Structure 1
Amino acid sequence: MFGLIGHLTSLEHAQAVARDLGYPEYADQGLDFWCSAPPQIVDTIKVTSITGQTIEGRYVESCFLPEMLANRRIKAATRKIINAMAHAQKNGINITALGGFSSIIFENFNLNQITQVRNIKLEFERFTTGNTHTAYIICRQVEQASKKVGIDLSKATVAVCGATGDIGSAVCRWLNDRTDVPELLLIARDRERLDALQSELGRGKIMGLEEALPLADIVVWVASMPKGVEIDPTTLKQPCLLIDGGYPKNLGTKIQHPGIYVLNGGIVEHSLDIEWKIMKIVNMDVPARQLFACFAESMLLEFEKWHTNFSWGRNQISVAKMEQIGQVSVKHGFQPLLSF
């Protein structure tokens, strides 16, 4: 059995979903309540591969909200993720994906140092960040969507915003090794990590966001949008492909301009309907078929009986592992979202 650990995008979103799911005791509560709310299994999932194989999973709502980080409730946020992991393990889930902020919080706050949660000794091999599959899907979106909008990848400048992160660095490795992209622009906050990535790739120009955006034919956005940052679409090339790999997705509402194409990055479509309700709750356009690639990774690992933390640690994703997860992704009927 596979598991998905997720969270909602805001307090208001969480209250509305709680009401829809039949948890009235959660629906009218403020942030203090959500800081203490325990994780819950709120969905049972059935997925069928195009090979005919069927697997079952569970969605674990962590009750984490982004406002916890904004309001300096760091202990509450970290406790949410660890408790959700313990809850998944307690319920016998073999492999669970950490979705959204879950994996970021786990990495940034070194939660691998916490091995005991009450009477449960965490077995980290039961968990995966899903970042390898996410990075693979984003790269395939770059390759396939660029053709749709008339951008020749062999002549394109690609900017990666969040280049030193786990997903961003993997995207850079793929573009460097598996495509003929002539120019990579590397954007991130940490100069030391940028220098290390540039050295590893053997190329790439380190730039600030404002300097890089007007030069880019394709922008892969896998970082949080800094507060107060606004993108003027009139300064971008036309055509320009923006791949929004963040969560929640917001570039599509912020940037609407002729010749600018915004694609929800890291989203896959399954060939067959999935029996669940959680993707309707997170507002997927086609909730029976579309899902986050990180979630799909745990499904793929369950299909293949690879009960291991396939994606783990920071900047450990190799091109070979992206190809490996990509092959089983295709095998079981998943494909990159390409609709704008």
Structure 2
Amino acid sequence: MFGLIGHLTNLEHAQSVARDMGYDGLADQGLDFWCAAPPQTVDHITVTSITGQTIEGRYVESCFLPEMLATRRVKAATRKIINAMAHAQKIGLDITALGGFSSIVFENFNLNQIERIRNITLDFQRFTTGNTHTAYIIARQVEQASSQLGIELSQATVAVCGATGDIGSAVCRWLDARTDVAELLLIARDRQRLEDLQGELGRGKVMGLEEALPKADIIVWVASMPKGLVIDPTTLKKPCLLVDGGYPKNLDTKVQDPGVVVLKGGIVEHALDINWRIMKLVNMDVPARQMFACFAESMLLEFEKWYTNFSWGRNQITVEKMEKIGEVSLKHGFKPLLS
């Protein structure tokens, strides 16, 4: 049985979802309450592959909120993710994906050093960040959506914002090895990591955000949005493809221009309806079929009985692993969202 560990977008969203689910008492609670709330299993899931195979899973709400990081409640944030993992293991889930900020918190704060939670010793082989499938889907979205827009990769400049992150670096490796993209612009906060990535690829230009964006035919955004940043769409090329691989996916509301196509990055669509409620709560356009690619990774691992931390750590994603997860993604009926 597979599992998904997730969280809601912010406090207001959490209060709204609690109200919609009939928990009126929770709808009035502030951030301090959510810091103390334990993880909960809130959805039972059934997924059928186009091969005919059917699997079951559970969605675990971690009760983590991004405001916990913004308000320096880092200990509460890390405790949320670890407790949710312990809960998933306790209820017998074989492979569980860490969605949204869960995987980011795990990477940044070395939660794998915390092995024991009360009477549970965490088996990290039971968990995956889902980042390999996410990176594969974003790379394929770049390839397929650019073709639809008439942007030739062999003549295109691609800017990757968040290039040194786990997903960003994997996308760069794929574009370098599996496409004939003309130019890569590498954007991130840490200069040394950028230069290391540039050295690994043997190509790419290290640039600042304001300099890079107007030069790009395609922008892959896999970083958190800096506070106060405003992207002026009039400075961007036309046409321009902007793949929003961040969380929450809100660049379509921030960058509005007829010549700029904003695509929700890292989202997949399944060929068959899925029996679940959770995607309605996170406002997917077609909640019966669409989901985050990281969540789909745990489903794929369950379909294939690959009970291992397929995606783990930082900058460990290879093109070969992206191809491997991509093959089973297609096999079981998943495809990148292109509209």
Query: What TM bracket, shorter-length normalisation?
Result: over 0.9
Normalised TM-score (structure 1): 0.99
Partner of 1:288: 288
Aligned-residue offset at 1:321: 0.1
The CA distance in 2 between the partners of 1:25 and 1:199, in whole Å, is 54
| 1:55 to partner: Cα distance | 0.2
Q: Which SS does the other structure have where 1:143 is aligned? A: helix
**What residue in structure 1 maps to residue 264 of structure 2?**
264
For residues 24 and 118 of structure 1, what CA distance do their matches in structure 2 show?
31
| Letter matched to residue 140 of structure 1 | R
Distance 1:173 1:291 in 2: 24
Structure-2 residue corresponding to 1:149: 149
Superposed CA RMSD: 0.5
CA deviation after TM superposition for structure 1 residue 330, in Å: 0.1
Shift of 1:228: 1.0
Q: Could you tell me which residue of structure 2 aligns to residue 18 of structure 1? A: 18
Q: Give the aligned partner of residue 273 of structure 1.
A: 273
- Total equivalences in the alignment: 339
Partner residue in 2 for 1:53: 53
The whole-number CA distance in structure 1 between the counterparts of 2:107 and 2:225 is 19
Q: State the 1:24 CA deviation.
A: 2.8
Aligned to 1:247: 247
Note the residue ranges of structure 2 that are not aligned, 5 or more in a row: none
More displaced, 143-152 or 309-318?
Answer: 143-152
Deviation at 1:184, TM superposition (A): 0.2
Please state whether the residue corresponding to 1:79 is helix, strand or coil: helix
1:137 has 2:122 as partner? no
- C-alpha distance in structure 1 between counterparts of 2:328 and 2:123, whole Å: 25
Residue 194 of structure 2 is aligned to residue 194 of structure 1: yes
In structure 1, the residue matched to 2:84 is: 84
Aligned to 1:118: 118
Distance 1:195 1:153 in 2: 24
Deviation at 1:67, TM superposition (A): 0.8
Aligned to 2:7: 7
Show the counterpart of 2:101. 101
Q: Tell me which residue corresponds to 2:297.
A: 297
Q: Which letter maps to 1:293? A: A
Deviation for aligned residue 1:152: 0.8
Runs (4+) of structure 1 exceeding 6 A deviation are: none
Distance 1:237 1:106 in 2: 36
Aligned-partner residue type, residue 122 of structure 2: L
SS in 1 for 2:44: strand
Q: 1 CA distance for matches of 2:128 and 2:26?
A: 28
Structure 1 match to 2:333? 333
- Between the aligned partners of 1:180 and 1:5, the Cα distance in structure 2 is 36
- Residues in 2 aligned to 1:255 and 1:182: alpha-carbon distance in whole angstroms: 25
For the residues of structure 1 that align with 2:134 and 2:25, how far apart are their CA atoms? 35
Secondary structure of 1:41's aligned partner: strand
1:168-207 equivalences in 2 (<5 Å): 168-207=168-207
Shift of 1:182: 1.1
Q: Secondary structure at the match of 2:96?
A: strand
What residue ranges of structure 1 are gaps of 5+ in the alignment? none
- Paired residue type of 1:173: R
Cα shift readout 1:261-299 (whole Å, capped 9, x = no counterpart): 000000000000000010010000000010000000000
- Mapped to 2, the partners of 1:259 and 1:107 lie a distance apart of 36
Tell me the CA shift for residue 188 of structure 1: 0.3
Q: Quick one: distance in 2 between partners of 1:24 and 1:49?
A: 37
The 2-side partners of 1:255 and 1:2 are apart by 36
Partners of 2:96 and 2:133 lie apart in 1 by 14
Question: Which residue type is aligned with residue 287 of structure 1?
Answer: P
Counterpart of 2:312, as a letter, is W
Q: Which residue does the alignment assign to 1:27?
A: 27
Deviations 1:26-52 (A, max 9, x none): 221000000000000000000000000
In structure 1, C-alpha distance between the alignment counterparts of 2:23 and 2:321, rounded to whole Å: 40
**Amino acid in the other structure paired with 1:83:** N
Post-superposition shift, 1:25?
3.1
- For 2:192, the aligned partner's letter is E
